Amino acid sequence: MTSETFASPEDLNTAFLVDQYGTYERLHKIGPIHRVKTSDGVHAWFVTSYAEVRRLIGDRRLVRRRTDAEGAHYALPAPPPLTSSVLCQDPPAHTRLRKHMNKAFSVARVDAMTPRIQEVATGLADDLERGTVVDFMAEFAAPLPITVIAEVLGIPETDRHGLRTWGDQILSMDPAQMQQGGAQMNQFLMALMAEKRANPGDDIWSEWMATPDGGGAPLSTEELLGMGYIVLLGGYDPSARAIGSCVLALLSDPAKMELLRDNMELIPRAVEEFLRLYSSNHSATPRFATESIDVAEVTIEAGDVVLLSIAAADRDPAQFGTPNAAEFEGPNGRHIAFGLGPHYCPGAELSRRQVAISLETIIRRLPDLRLAAPPADIDLRESYFIRTPNVLPVICP
Ligand code: HEM
């Protein structure tokens, strides 16, 4: 491996937009780590092999807060509440915030939410207009996780209309849009905080605003804003993408759909395979090296930016028998779509449940659902971070 992996470092984004998965195949043949320049002009190390991503993702020498790594200059292009959220913190601040997060999305809590997730999914499936082309993202994949996360946070139905638009703006990677969406989300969360302070409810937001059980300092306004941001964005966008991508994959492959329809017990495995193939972030949150770290023949220097490509790792032929195809039976390795280590996604269980319920509900209640455009014509939102259907035209006769 050398720093000449790409003809010019700018190629990272271009290569992705042209052929993301082909790019990974090429990178896997070259080596585990590559020198790149991202679309926002940052020179970084891009780690692609499963073994190295897995090793580095929990490595304490790689930190999230730029100020924790001397010489690091890159500022994450995201609004401040997000950059000061749990996602971009290191211990001890991270540990304190994670306790609240873990409690909120424990398996027991997700179990308790499951009947309601099923009820919302059934309602959305039954309400899908028949005999005409509809956008599955707008009619099912987005409203399901938005409804669930809004209910978890105690956001009244009448106040939810802006959430998807602001979330999409914040995740657009376009500075003007990010600022606009960020400002609206800020305003919304500040108002929600004031409302919950005056009228606490039986919801996680009210729980986070109260003094923690057993004492300790309550979360500050800045910390609460960060929690609200990351949970609204994390709770909606990746789950909507996962549901949309799963449905696109199944509707594009009638044999696989048939297999699942006849063997519903394979759904949990199908969910894991679709998460591996389509939901893994192309890059995890940027990390900064606090000291030099050797990876293959390369030395990452203190202050360097490191991008761990979970999506590349999850398609590494050294780890997966069928790296680019879903395998519903037999062994096929363990994916890391939800990350690993201290920053492991606290919403993993909730997402798995929502995706599995979505698939099951569609198979049972919308057995004739089909794509209303050839798979190659589906409009995708792509960046060096994520890949997802923007609009998913479907029709149910
Ligand atoms: C398919 C759906 C999802 C995927 C693929 C996903 C993926 C991830 C990944 C890879 C990370 C770690 C990032 C890193 O180490 O740089 C992460 C962190 C996080 N996710 Fe998710 N996520 C999903 C759904 C959710 C949901 C539903 C929630 C909220 C309930 C959520 C909340 C978070 C939070 C708060 C973090 C930051 C954790 C920390 O830094 O300690 N995610 N997610």
Evaluate: CB of 106 within 6 angstroms of ligand 1.
no
Alpha-carbon Rg for the chain, nearest whole angstrom, is: 21
Surface-to-core class of residue 197, CB atoms within 10 Å of its CB (0-12 exposed, 13-18 middle, 19+ buried): exposed
Q: Does 281 sit in the ligand 1 pocket, CB within 6 Å? A: yes
Rounded to 5 degrees, what angle do the CA atoms 370, 375, 380 make?
A: 115
Distance between CA atoms of residues 105 and 126, nearest Å: 28
- Say what the pLDDT of residue 243 is: 96
Query: What are the residue ranges spanned by the domains of the chain?
Result: 11-395
The residues that bridge with 34 in the sheet, in sequence order, are 46
Assess whether the C-beta atom of 9 lies below 6 angstroms from ligand 1.
no
Nearest residue to 190 via CA among 159, 143, 224, 158: 224
Unique residue bearing structure tokens 């770290």: 293
Residue 298 pairs in a beta bridge with: 295
- Detail the DSSP E strand segments found in 49-174: 62-63, 133-135
Residue 274 CA to residue 276 CA, distance in Å, equals: 5
Distance CA 241, CA 282 (A): 13
Nearest to 320 by CA among 92, 397, 311, 26: 311
How remote is the CA of residue 346 from the centroid of ligand 1, in Å? 6
Atom of ligand 1 nearest to the CA of 227: 35
Pocket test for ligand 1, best of 89, 103, 345, 387 (most atoms within 8 A of CB): 345
For residue 335, the CA-to-ligand 1 centroid distance in Å is 14
pLDDT score at 82: 75
**From the alpha carbon of 341, which atom of ligand 1 is closest?**
15
Tracing tokens 């638009």 back to the chain, one arrives at: 165
Ligand 1: distance of its center to the CA of 240 in Å? 13
CA 226 centroid distance within chain? 17
pLDDT tens sequence for the chain (397 residues): 444 455 444 466 666 667 788 889 999 999 999 988 776 777 889 999 999 999 999 999 999 887 766 766 666 666 777 777 888 888 888 998 999 999 899 999 999 999 999 999 999 999 999 999 999 999 999 999 999 999 999 999 988 888 888 888 887 777 888 889 889 999 999 999 999 999 999 999 999 988 766 667 788 998 999 999 899 988 888 999 999 999 999 999 999 999 999 999 999 999 999 999 998 888 888 899 999 999 998 999 999 999 999 999 999 999 999 999 999 987 777 999 999 999 999 999 999 999 999 999 999 999 999 999 998 888 887 665 667 888 999 999 8
Stretch (H or E) spanning 233: helix 221-251
Please state the atom number of ligand 1 nearest to the C-alpha of residue 241: 1
Nearest Cα residue to atom 39 of ligand 1: 343
**Atom 9 in ligand 1: residue holding the nearest Cα:** 338
pLDDT at 7: 45
The protein residue with its alpha carbon nearest to ligand 1, atom 23, reads 238
The CA–CA distances, whole Å, from 378 to 12, 152, 208, 244, 373 equal: 23, 32, 40, 11, 7
- Neighbouring residues of 209: CB distance < 8 A, sequence distance ≥ 6: 193, 196, 197, 200, 218, 219, 224
Give 11-395's CATH code, choosing from 1.10.630.10, 1.10.4190.10, 3.10.20.30, 1.10.357.10: 1.10.630.10
CA of 47 from ligand 1 middle (Å) equals 19
For the Cβ of 336 lying below 6 angstroms from any atom of ligand 1, the answer is no
Q: What separation in Å is there between the alpha carbon of 8 and the centre of ligand 1?
A: 31
Ligand 1 contact, 308 CB (< 6 A): no
Q: Is the CB of 285 under 6 A from ligand 1?
A: yes
What distance in Å separates the CA atoms of residue 346 and residue 203, rounded to the nearest whole number? Answer: 17
Beta pairing partners, 382: 387
Q: Where are the alpha helices (H) located in 105-162, listed in sequence order?
A: 107-127, 136, 143-153
What's the 238 CA to ligand 1 centre distance in angstroms? 8
User: 235: Cβ below 6 Å to ligand 1?
Assistant: yes
Measured CA to CA, the distance from residue 48 to residue 280 in angstroms comes to 12
